[in-house]
Structure 1
Amino acid sequence: MALLDDAIDACGGLARWDSLSRFTLHLSVGGSLFSDAGHAREFKDVTAEGSTRTQSVRFTGITGGEQSGAFQADAITIESLDGQVLRTWRNPSLDFPTNGTHALADELHLVFFCGVQIWTYLTTPFLLARPDVVVEELPPWQENSETWRCLRAQFPSSLINLASEQIFYFDENALQRRADHDLLGARVAHYSWAHENFCGIVVPTLRRTLTRQPDAAVIAKPVLIDVEIFDAVFE
């Protein structure tokens, strides 16, 4: 598909991506979803190390630098800095048992949510080239004075994602600028910009998630999720 090929080439190319297996990020994650759950600073100034090939991310320095959190498809763990497992959630899913509390109130849910989110951020658009992901190009979208090309992606049940169906928007340089889907009962739009080249892979270093209305227009406040990537290494 022409758009997907263009997007992959703009981010470094499939050959470069296939030569990699790991990433390390220095980043901060915040926003009203975190502060409303009582975790305003849980993911501020943390390190994320993960696999480019399987769904796996370890966050070091969460909870004020006192703990680590690990996301894998079959288990979430909270660990001490010396590697002792403090809590485990096996076979996690996005159907969080809230019991009347905020969906991200439990730190295990928070690690799971951030793990899925950051892994998907880092692997897109290469993720869309997987043979089990179904993509379809949609008509162009007008965003302010720009025309963005669009892809609808349907993800398999074997791949943990924030939503099984998402729409990705790419600017005139084929760089991803937005992604729409449902999240925790709300319609959201993830905006991305400030792309930088790290080790031959182009990554948007700023992301912001806003509430999306039925007509796909967005509401500027509150900012649900705010992500800033300070540095990235691929190897």
Structure 2
Amino acid sequence: MALLDDAIDACGGLARWNSLNRFTLHLSVGGTLFSDAGHAREFKDVTAEGSTRTQSVRFTGITGGEQSGAFQPDAITIESLDGQVLRTWHDPSLAFPTNGAHALADELHLVFFCGVAIWNYLTTPFLLAHPDVVVEELEPWQEHTEAWRRLRAQFPPSLITLASEQVFYFDENALQRRADHDLLGTHVAHYSWAHEDFGGIVVPTLRRSQTLGPDGTVIAKPVLVDVEIFDAVFE
């Protein structure tokens, strides 16, 4: 598909991506989803290390630098800095508690959410070339004065994502600038910008999720999720 090919080429190309195995990020994650759950600073100034090939991310420096958290599809763990497993959540899912508690109140849920989000953010648009992901190009979208091209993606159950269906928007340079999807019961627009080249892979270093109103317009505040990537290393 022409748009997907353009997007992948704009971010470094499939050959470069397929030559990689690991990534290391220095980043901060926040927003009202975190602060409302009592975790305003849990993911401030942390290191994320993971695989480019399989869904796995380890966060070091969470809870004020005192612990680490690991995301894998079959288990989430909270560990001490010396590697002792403190808590484990087996077979996690996005079906968070509905008993009135905040969806991210539990730190295990927080690690799971951040693991899913960061891994998918970092691997897109390459992830869209996965043989089990179904993509369809939609009509262009007018974003203020710019015309953005769009792809609808359907993700298989074998890939853990924040939403099984998402719509991705790409600017005139074929760089991803927005993704619309459901997020914990709310329809959101997830914007990305300030792209930088890290070893041949182009990554948006700023990301922000905002609520979409009933008419499809973006509600500026509150910012649900706010991500800043300070540095990225691929190998």
TM-score when scaled to structure 1?
A: 0.99
CA distance in 2, matches of 1:133, 1:139: 19
Amino acid of the structure 1 residue aligned with 2:51: S
User: 1:3-38: CA deviations, max 9, x gaps?
Assistant: 000000000000000000100000000000000000
Superposition map of 1:33-52 within 5 A = 33-52=33-52
Deviation above 2 Å: which 4+ runs of structure 1? none
Counterpart for residue 201 of structure 2: 201
Q: How far did residue 100 of structure 1 move?
A: 1.3
Superposition map of 1:114-193 within 5 A = 114-193=114-193
Counterpart for residue 32 of structure 2: 32
CA distance in 1, matches of 2:65, 2:98: 26
Amino acid of the structure 2 residue aligned with 1:52: T
CA distance in 2, matches of 1:29, 1:135: 28
CA distance in 2, matches of 1:220, 1:46: 26
CA distance in 1, matches of 2:98, 2:114: 17
CA distance in 1, matches of 2:96, 2:217: 28
CA distance in 1, matches of 2:55, 2:124: 13
Amino acid of the structure 2 residue aligned with 1:185: G
Counterpart for residue 226 of structure 2: 226
CA distance in 1, matches of 2:183, 2:127: 19
Q: Matched residue of 2:59: which SS? A: strand
Amino acid of the structure 1 residue aligned with 2:82: D
TM-score when scaled to structure 2?
A: 0.99
CA distance in 2, matches of 1:97, 1:196: 37
User: 1:152-210: CA deviations, max 9, x gaps?
Assistant: 00000111000000000000000000000011110001000000000100000000000
Counterpart for residue 53 of structure 1: 53
CA distance in 1, matches of 2:177, 2:74: 30
Q: Matched residue of 1:220: which SS? A: strand
Amino acid of the structure 1 residue aligned with 2:103: A
Q: Matched residue of 1:216: which SS? A: coil
Amino acid of the structure 1 residue aligned with 2:150: C
| Larger mean Cα displacement after TM superposition, 89-98 or 224-233 | 89-98
CA RMSD of superposed structures (Å): 0.6
Q: Matched residue of 2:222: which SS? A: coil
Counterpart for residue 7 of structure 2: 7
CA distance in 2, matches of 1:11, 1:216: 28
Q: How far did residue 214 of structure 1 move?
A: 3.1
Q: How many residues align?
A: 235
